[in-house]
Amino acid sequence: MAKYIFITGGVVSSLGKGISGASIGKLLQLHGFKVNMLKFDPYINVDPGTMNPYQHGEVFVTTDGTETDLDLGTYERFLDVYTSKANTNTSGDIYRTVIDRERRGDYDGATVQVIPHITDEIKRRFSALKDECDISIIEIGGTVGDIEGLPFMEAARQFQLENKKEDIFSIHVTLVPYIAGAHELKTKPTQHSVNKLREIGISPDMIICRTEHHLDKSLKRKIALFCNVKEDCVVEAMDAPSIYYIPEAFYNQKVDTLVMEKLKLNPKKKFDNAWFIKIKSFGEFSKIVKVAVVGKYADLKDAYKSIDESLNIAAIALKTKAEIDYLGAEDNDLVKKLKNYDAILVPGGFGNRGVEGKIRAITYARENKIPFLGICLGMQCSVIEVARNLANLKDANSTEFYEDTKHPVIKILDEQKNVKYRGGTMRLGSYKSQLKKSTLAHKLYKSSEIEERHRHRYEMNPEFVETLKKVGLYVSAYHKDVLPEIVEIKNHPFFIGVQFHPEFGSRPMKPHPLFEGFINAGLLNKKTIK
């Protein structure tokens, strides 16, 4: 069985196509189907790895080391699946595949064109996961009408024609804006958007309307009539207090039944609403933990999307509300501001900007025994901090920031050459590490071996491990006895730095042990210090 759900968007971007698709995927999972999601992004970048987080949010890393769009994080968290290279596709990557083929002479002298060569490659990728799951949900990025999105829409049209009607369900996500002056919701942008889609040859089966106000029956009827869909296939998607409430909101509108009807699917098991109940139980909590995230992109939460999710998920598991503030590492008042927080997290990053501020934040956390979690660059900064301030290696640095430092506590290692990297000079994707007994890491993970995702070039320099141990910074985990993976300080309530990115592993029902430990330490700190 290979069934496909296509999700396109119209009117404006950022309507939550990914969340809509993932919510429907969740419902289908609860009916017993194996579901996965694929993203098709029309931009020319081969992958989002080099894109500025200001424009594109965080780079989500899959276990196989693919640098992807943050939507894949949403797919993984909602569906509790693992995504990989096959789940992420960009125009750049698709064109590159076709051009490589052309260079090899595979097209036998033919003129290589958007139709059929690019569209054929897109169609091939639409069905990449068909043998692994019952239903593939395909999200096409951008909005209908974008020039660069056209080959994807055309490929979707062809795909529809080449497959059985009952194998494809097409969903269009649009905006129904509220005009305050007229006290009215407006359907015209939706009508235009669907017209545009139908011009291309795709007639949606369902329209999901993002709206700030309820859509009444007459409005739904109007949209149904103008957009050529059944009335019950006009679905309201109101802003929700949590994205995890959306599957239930769709369930209440029978979205799952409508999809299964058209796809001629019978539920594989009795629908289990325990997921909804659990999500609802998250509710509101009176306990609060205040977390400061000290990073470069203070005003852009999306740049730290998985960290934000991980903190919230961990807090919920401890019946706590996490109040998370993103503080700019370059803020002169940073340390003063940190006094208002129960726990401090320094996330990953690239480049020099803000590094000294991050180090100051770590000094503050270490000296004042505030729970600290350092992730990737945050871990590297904690090594620099301890080297400078406890081991008295005043110019200790990472060679990323100061190549000629006398004390390169973080650098690109010769040992790295023996570790086979997937990302060229970058260590990307999942790697195992072995944890030492009687360490905080071991206590949190309750395991001697873990596997976590990486995305970095530099490593802690093993030459300094002994020196730093003497002043209290221990390496509690290694990859293959060579690369330090976790550092911690013992006489501190919670001070841990990890070379990897634990934030990609959190799921709403499965908080990550490091984040759970961190939030718990924040709660304890609140009790003991304040």
Residues in contact with ligand GLN by CB under 6 A are 348-350, 376-377, 380, 400, 455-458
The alpha-carbon radius of gyration of the chain (Å, integer) is 25
How many CA atoms are closer than 13 Å to the CA of 9, on its beta-carbon side?
23
* Nearest CB to ligand GLN, comparing residues 497 and 511: 497
How many Å apart are CA 151 and CA 121, to the nearest integer?
10
* Nearest CB to ligand GLN, comparing residues 389 and 399: 399
What is the β-pairing status of strands 449-456 and 427-435?
A: antiparallel
Q: How far is the CB of 307 from ligand GLN (least distance, A)?
A: 11
Q: How far is the CB of 377 from ligand GLN (least distance, A)?
A: 3
User: Is 229 within 8 Å of 220 (Cβ atoms)?
Assistant: no
Q: How far is the CB of 488 from ligand GLN (least distance, A)?
A: 18
CB burial string 192-201: b at 16+ within 10 A, e below: bbbebbeebe
Pick the catalytic residue: 133, 209, 233, 376? 376
User: Is 308 within 8 Å of 324 (Cβ atoms)?
Assistant: yes
Q: Which residue is nearest to ligand GLN (CB)?
A: 348
469 residue type, one letter: K
User: Is 353 within 8 Å of 507 (Cβ atoms)?
Assistant: no
How many Å apart are CA 75 and CA 83, to the nearest integer?
8
Q: How far is the CB of 348 from ligand GLN (least distance, A)?
A: 3
Give φ, ψ of 36 to 5 degrees.
-140, 165
Is residue 501 flagged as an active site residue? Answer: yes
Q: Is 423 helix (H, G, I), strand (E, B) or coil?
A: strand
Pick the catalytic residue: 236, 385, 485, 503? 503
Element (H, E) at 465: helix 465-470
Is residue 231 flagged as an active site residue? Answer: no
Report DSSP state, residue 464: G
Q: How far is the CB of 140 from ligand GLN (least distance, A)?
A: 29
Q: How far is the CB of 189 from ligand GLN (least distance, A)?
A: 39
Q: How far is the CB of 398 from ligand GLN (least distance, A)?
A: 7
Tokens at 140, concatenated: 């096409």
* Nearest CB to ligand GLN, comparing residues 365 and 376: 376
How many CA atoms are closer than 13 Å to the CA of 236, on its beta-carbon side?
18
Q: How far is the CB of 351 from ligand GLN (least distance, A)?
A: 7
Q: How far is the CB of 78 from ligand GLN (least distance, A)?
A: 24
Alpha-carbon torsion (48, 52, 58, 64), positive or negative: positive
Beta-carbon count within 10 A of 47 CB: 18
How many Å apart are CA 264 and CA 3, to the nearest integer?
10
Beta-carbon count within 10 A of 103 CB: 9
Cα 357 vs. chain centroid, distance in angstroms? 26
Q: Is 480 helix (H, G, I), strand (E, B) or coil?
A: coil
* Nearest CB to ligand GLN, comparing residues 54 and 178: 54
Closest CA to 41 of 27, 24, 56: 56
User: Is 42 within 8 Å of 142 (Cβ atoms)?
Assistant: yes
Contacts of 56 (CB under 8 A, 6+ apart): 48, 69, 70
Tokens at 53, concatenated: 């987080």
User: Is 316 within 8 Å of 282 (Cβ atoms)?
Assistant: yes
Q: Is 119 helix (H, G, I), strand (E, B) or coil?
A: helix
Catalytic residue ranges: 376, 501, 503
